[in-house]
Amino acid sequence: MIERRHFLLGSAAVGVTSLAWWSADGARDAVANEKVFEVTFTEAEWKERLSQGAYLVLREEATERPYTSALLKEARSGTYVCGGCALPLYASADKYDSKTGWPSFSRAINETAVGTETDYKLVFPRTEAHCSRCGGHLGHIFDDGPAPTGKRHCINGLALNFVVAA
């Protein structure tokens, strides 16, 4: 049986840790909301322009369910562009099957297309990927990808549109 003092100490530790995560997220959100992007719309305009799923991912930082994206098995040659502003983000040549359930890429199309921030929403910090032109949330970047980059850009399909190569 757990002693009362151990239970109380454990509960206090969880509370402080949760507060730290909440504070870190609140600070990050406050900073993110202050950023000015080249493409901006009001929340009402974003809701008009995007499907409900794309809005939730791009603007509310939701994550789509794994293995549900139509882009997961897309194998044609082309470019993956931001679903919010059509900025080219990923080349089909850099797409691979990470077996995670989300479209994955070894690198962005160029060094300026995808911005990053540290995300503290889970127990450990993650690198959040967002569109550098409109700020739309794309997914996360991990250090377990293939050579030569060693990166896995794990991206929500709802955040992207695919443009077939001409």
Going from the C-alpha of 116 to that of each of 48, 128, 136, the distances in angstroms are 26, 5, 11
Terminal CA-CA length for the chain: 68
Whether 134 is catalytic is no
In angstroms, the CA 114 to CA 138 distance is: 9
What's phi and psi for 148, nearest 5 deg? -90, -10
In angstroms, the CA 61 to CA 28 distance is: 13
Positions marked active-site = 154
